Amino acid sequence: MIRVRFAPSPTGNLHIGGGRTALFNWLYAKAKGGKFILRIEDTDLVRSKKEYLDEILDSLTWLGIGWDELYHQGERFDIYRDYANQLLSKGFAYKEGQAIIFIVQPQKLKIQDLIHGDIEFDTSLIKDQVLIKSDLSPTYNFACVVDDAAMKITHIIRGDDHISNTPKQVIIYQALGFLVPEFAHLPLILGAEGGRLSKRTGAAAISDYRNMGYLPAALVNYLLLLGWSPGGNQEIIDIKEAINKFDIRDANKTAAAFNMEKLSWINAQYLRMLEDNELLGYLKPLLLEKK
Ligand code: GLU
């Protein structure tokens, strides 16, 4: 069975990029009759905040992205330490004080990315990897591998910004004797002017769009088009139809640019499709707030 995960760190709000990653994972699970796992990567004890966690969960719920299982890495530190000790006793790692460090052996690695095709890495360019830090918390790359294996994740769908982490993770899978899952790295979302997505060019939180009055179905439709197309020139696509047509292998290979006008146009189409009472349902809380 297909099992995918969305793994946000509660160190900030859910933004457009994270929303799209969550949506593509969820949609792939729905399209294939699989499971969508939500894993909260709250290993950074200083930067992780309950208010961000609540905001992320609320935003996903508002978008209509429900999860089948929920895990918190903060509750799993013992598991990471056990695996790190295993690597230590097998000679794959060494200690530096309390920290446990993985020995990277030189090898040429090839990953078959479902979106980009073959990607090759030379691990001689990667330095030894910290698994457990001296404060006994796990690093992202280590906790991620232990959990993706423990949670039986079959497909890792995440942003292109994680491509450089992939070889660091694959060598840990190999050392632990775990099956390496499939990878699909989604191209970046650029700002309207082609640069990095910034607050000014559309990188606001999903909850900001909610507060601006966008309909969740319209935002979902727009997030879908930021990296996938149902074919032809179709731009308005109902989520059920998207579930029937979606395959992660068809995701775009090149970066998409965020376009506020397009989002507003899509929103207008969805507004026109609403029945009066539905429209009233959306307007009422906004009007009451403005009183
Ligand atoms: N916590 C990581 C992030 O928010 C997850 C990356 C991944 O999906 O592996 O970027």
pLDDT in tens, 40-89: 999 998 999 999 999 999 999 999 999 999 999 999 999 999 999 999 99
242-256 per-position pLDDT tens digit: 999 999 999 999 998
Tokens of 33: 């009759």
Across the range 207-222, mean pLDDT stands at 94
Percent of the chain clearing pLDDT 70 (strictly above): 98
In the prediction, which pLDDT does 191 show?
Answer: 84
**Mapping DSSP to helix (H, G, I), strand (E, B) and coil, where does residue 273 land?**
helix
Q: Given ligand 1 and candidates 4, 9, 147, which is best to mutate, with the most ligand atoms within 8 Å of its CB?
A: 9
**Cβ of 25 less than 6 Å from ligand 1:** no
Helix ranges, the chain (H): 16-31, 50-63, 77-89, 140-150, 165-176, 206-212, 216-225, 239-245, 260-273, 276-290
Predicted pLDDT at 203: 63
164: amino acid identity, one letter: S
pLDDT tens digit sequence for 277-286 = 999 998 898 7
pLDDT at residue 143 in the model: 98
Ligand 1: nearest atom to the Cα of 8: 4
Cα of 125 from ligand 1 centre, angstroms:
22
Give the position, in ligand 1's atom list, of the atom nearest the Cα of 158.
8
Closest listed residue to residue 63, CA positions, set 236, 204, 285, 217:
217
> Amino acid identity of 11?
T
Looking at the DSSP assignment, which residues form a beta bridge with residue 37? 5, 69
Q: Is the pLDDT of residue 156 over 80?
A: yes
Q: How far is residue 44's CA from residue 48's CA, in Å, rounded to a whole number?
A: 6
- Write the Ramachandran bin of 33: left for phi over 0, alpha for psi from -120 to 50, otherwise beta: left
pLDDT of the residue at 199: 66
- Which pLDDT does position 35 carry in this prediction? 98
The mean pLDDT value of the chain amounts to: 95
Tell me the two tokens of residue 60. 């996903």
How many Å lie between the centroid of ligand 1 and the Cα of residue 59? 17
Q: Does the beta carbon of 9 lie inside 6 Å of ligand 1?
A: yes
Instruction: Give the model confidence (pLDDT) of 48-62 as tens digits.
Output: 999 999 999 999 999
Query: Ligand 1, from 47, 56, 140: best to mutate by most atoms within 8 Å of Cβ?
Result: 140
pLDDT band (50, 70, 90) for residue 202: low
Q: Would you state the pLDDT for residue 200?
A: 66
| Per-residue pLDDT tens digits for 97-142 | 999 999 999 999 999 999 999 999 999 999 999 999 999 999 999 9
